[in-house]
């Protein structure tokens, strides 16, 4: 059944005013054009939609039935137009975001603030290790990634938006906890808990200590920053983590940041996406939001909680 939207629009106008003349005036069509659209619609449906009783145009039973359907179709079209207007503006849609565990707390804060000003959006956030996040980029399974050190791949674009300080942490009762200006050479006597091979934090940490000629003793390899923090808190060793993962532990006094020569190590947060990807408007809106507001949001949040 080949019914056009134009035919339904003309039918609605005639049905509302019960006048071909009035419908032609409203739609800026000639009366013969209106009559032709109605005739074609009736031929498609196989039933008359209007009848002329004396000088009056009236709906037939089939016409009355079509009124309800055409109104619902018009309402759905209006909903569709509104939705796509919102999608184009970034005020609706679903944002797919992937982050390594290091960035989870920070990314969640940014999402929460973004959603306050964009209440019509939905989002998914996948928290995984670095390897999995890079796979998602490669497979186009995510719109955007927030991460510390993007892979050096030609198919990726990246925007740096904020510093990401790496700090050295210890349990509050560790012998170095109250010391100031700790020389790097003193750390060669300590035991370290490290992230898995391929972690951006581990790479930065190993590169720094190697450049300084310091050899570290490692006791345990762990797959998340949360595991590192928990192990350090119970006294299993020292660790290097992003400052942005420590808010709760510092508030309750479960961990302390050591004052060590050369620390913090300053890395950066990046937004990363595929060069060849069409970014949905909601992803573009979030990207603009992060690049413009992330540092201010974090500074205010940190100041309010410390």
Domains of the chain, by residue range, sit at 5-88, 93-162+268-305, 164-266
Q: Which CATH class is domain 164-266?
A: alpha beta
Residue 109 CB-density burial (10 A; 0-12 exposed, 13-18 middle, 19+ buried): middle
Quick one: pLDDT at residue 79? 76
Ramachandran area for residue 157 (φ above 0: left; ψ -120 to 50: alpha; else beta): beta
Quick one: pLDDT at residue 157? 94
Quick one: pLDDT at residue 274? 93
Quick one: pLDDT at residue 66? 92
Same fold, 93-162+268-305 and 164-266: yes
Quick one: pLDDT at residue 306? 58
Cβ atoms of 118 and 282 within 8 Å: the answer is yes
Strands 217-222, 191-195: parallel, antiparallel or unpaired by DSSP? parallel
In eight-state DSSP terms, residue 197 is: T
> Looking at the domain 5-88, which fold is it?
Arc Repressor Mutant, subunit A (1.10.10)
Residues paired with residue 160 on neighbouring β-strands, in sequence order: 270
Residue 144 CB-density burial (10 A; 0-12 exposed, 13-18 middle, 19+ buried): buried
Under-70 pLDDT residues of the chain:
1, 82, 86, 89-90, 301, 303-306
Q: Write down the CATH number for the domain with range 93-162+268-305.
A: 3.40.190.10
CB atoms within 10 A of CB 194: 21
pTM above 0.85, yes or no: no
């Amino acid at each position: 059944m080949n019914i056009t939207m134009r035919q339904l629009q003309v039918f609605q106008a005639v049905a509302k005013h019960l006048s071909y003349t009035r419908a032609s005036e409203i739609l800026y069509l000639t009366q013969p054009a209106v009559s032709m659209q109605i005739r074609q619609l009736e031929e498609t449906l196989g039933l008359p939609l209007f009848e002329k009783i004396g000088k009056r145009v009236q709906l037939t039973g089939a016409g009355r039935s079509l009124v309800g359907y055409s109104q619902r179709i018009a309402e759905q079209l209006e909903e569709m137009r509104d939705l796509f207007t919102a999608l184009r503006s970034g005020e609706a849609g679903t944002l797919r975001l992937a982050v390594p565990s290091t960035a989870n707390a920070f990314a969640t804060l940014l999402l929460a603030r973004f959603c306050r000003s964009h209440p019509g959006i939905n989002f998914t956030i996948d928290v995984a290790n670095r390897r999995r996040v890079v796979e998602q980029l490669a497979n186009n399974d995510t719109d955007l990634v927030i991460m510390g050190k993007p892979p050096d791949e030609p198919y990726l674009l990246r925007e740096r938006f904020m510093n990401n300080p790496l700090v050295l942490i210890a349990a509050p009762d560790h012998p170095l906890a109250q010391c100031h200006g700790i020389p790097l050479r003193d750390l060669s006597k300590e035991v370290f808990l490290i992230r898995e091979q391929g972690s951006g934090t581990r790479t930065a940490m190993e590169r720094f200590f190697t450049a300084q000629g310091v050899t570290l003793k490692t006791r345990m390899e762990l797959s998340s920053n949360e595991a590192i923090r928990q192990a350090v808190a119970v006294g299993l060793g020292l660790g290097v983590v992003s400052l942005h993962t420590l808010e709760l532990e510092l508030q309750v006094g479960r961990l302390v940041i050591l004052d060590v020569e050369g620390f913090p190590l300053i890395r950066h947060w990046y937004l990363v996406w595929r060069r060849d990807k069409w970014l949905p408007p909601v992803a573009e809106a979030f990207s603009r939001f992060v690049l413009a507001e992330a540092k201010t949001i974090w500074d205010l949040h940190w100041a309010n909680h410390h």
